[in-house]
């Protein structure tokens, strides 16, 4: 078997499984682990995969912080569908916490309150969107403004959660790694998200399918602290199955 043939088989396995172990590839291709590592190094240099701790994945899992205006342009149709499905879970006279992120902005645009709705918001953009609806009572958190996300962080943002409890937290994330957990690119935002989670009965993550198998700088929580993930049809069946097997409800917007 030529090197090119091995590379094709490696990439085919990645396409089907999203992650492959060096030992598994060595067994499949009947070559040494050293040969596989050299193959993976070449493929990584060509930008076709990312190597990490004895295995390979389809993309670099580490995410850089980007501005909200840049993120708004990514997968807008999917975010709107995710937001609409998330909004359908809001009940009569509900009280919810809304974190930050462009998928959360799409969610806010889809909200149609049943009678009255109370929203505790970290996002200035979310508060602005909802301010046009008199049936929504908005509690805008204070704190330090993150210019890149147009949301607040810090001790002043955390303080109100000592005295309130809400039915749901709608959380945007930068990465979902099934082994590592949910993450964001900012440590202050991660700390605020943790406090929000403790104040909510149910944690709902709104994330398009590009967020899976990615990691931001700061960990928010382990996967077992998430109740529902709402995503789009781009999620692989194997990833959805693993989430459901771990007790997380996966809702696919299409």
Tell me: the pLDDT tens digits for 208-230?
Answer: 998 998 888 899 999 999 999 99
Q: pTM of the full predicted structure?
A: 0.77
> What's the CA gap between 224 and 180, in Å, rounded?
11
Closest Cα to residue 153, out of 124, 173, 130, 174?
A: 124
Q: pLDDT (tens digit, 9 = 90+) per residue, 158-211?
A: 999 999 999 999 999 999 999 999 999 899 999 999 999 999 999 999 999 989
> What's the CA gap between 66 and 214, in Å, rounded?
15
> What's the CA gap between 175 and 185, in Å, rounded?
9
pLDDT exceeds cutoff 80 at 12: yes
What the chain holds in terms of domains, given with CATH numbers, is: 3-57 (1.10.10.10), 68-253 (3.40.50.1360)
Q: pLDDT (tens digit, 9 = 90+) per residue, 71-97?
A: 666 788 999 999 999 999 999 999 999
pLDDT exceeds cutoff 80 at 249: yes
């Amino acid at each position: 078997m030529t090197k090119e043939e091995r590379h094709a088989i490696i990439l085919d396995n990645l396409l089907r499984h999203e992650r492959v172990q060096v030992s598994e590839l060595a067994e499949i291709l009947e070559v040494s682990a050293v040969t596989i590592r050299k193959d993976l190094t070449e493929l990584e240099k060509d930008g076709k995969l990312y190597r990490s701790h004895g295995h390979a994945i389809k993309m670099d899992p580490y995410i850089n912080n980007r501005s909200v205006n840049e993120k708004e342009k990514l997968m807008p149709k999917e975010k709107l569908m995710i937001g609409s499905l998330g909004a359908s879970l809001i009940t009569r006279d509900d009280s919810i916490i809304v974190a930050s992120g462009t998928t959360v902005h799409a969610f806010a645009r889809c909200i149609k309150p049943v009678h009255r709705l109370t929203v505790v918001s970290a996002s200035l953009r979310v508060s602005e969107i909802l301010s046009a609806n008199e049936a929504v009572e908005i509690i805008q958190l204070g704190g330090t403004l993150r210019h890149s996300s147009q949301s607040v962080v810090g001790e002043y943002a955390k303080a109100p959660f000592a005295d309130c409890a809400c039915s749901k937290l709608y959380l945007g994330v930068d990465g979902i790694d099934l082994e590592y957990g949910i993450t964001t690119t900012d440590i202050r935002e991660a700390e605020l998200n943790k406090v929000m989670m403790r104040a909510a009965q149910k944690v709902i993550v709104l994330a398009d399918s590009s967020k899976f198998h990615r990691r931001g700088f700061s960990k928010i929580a382990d996967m077992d602290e998430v109740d529902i993930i709402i995503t789009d049809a781009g999620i692989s069946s194997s990833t959805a199955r693993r989430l459901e097997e771990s007790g997380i409800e996966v809702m696919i917007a299409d």
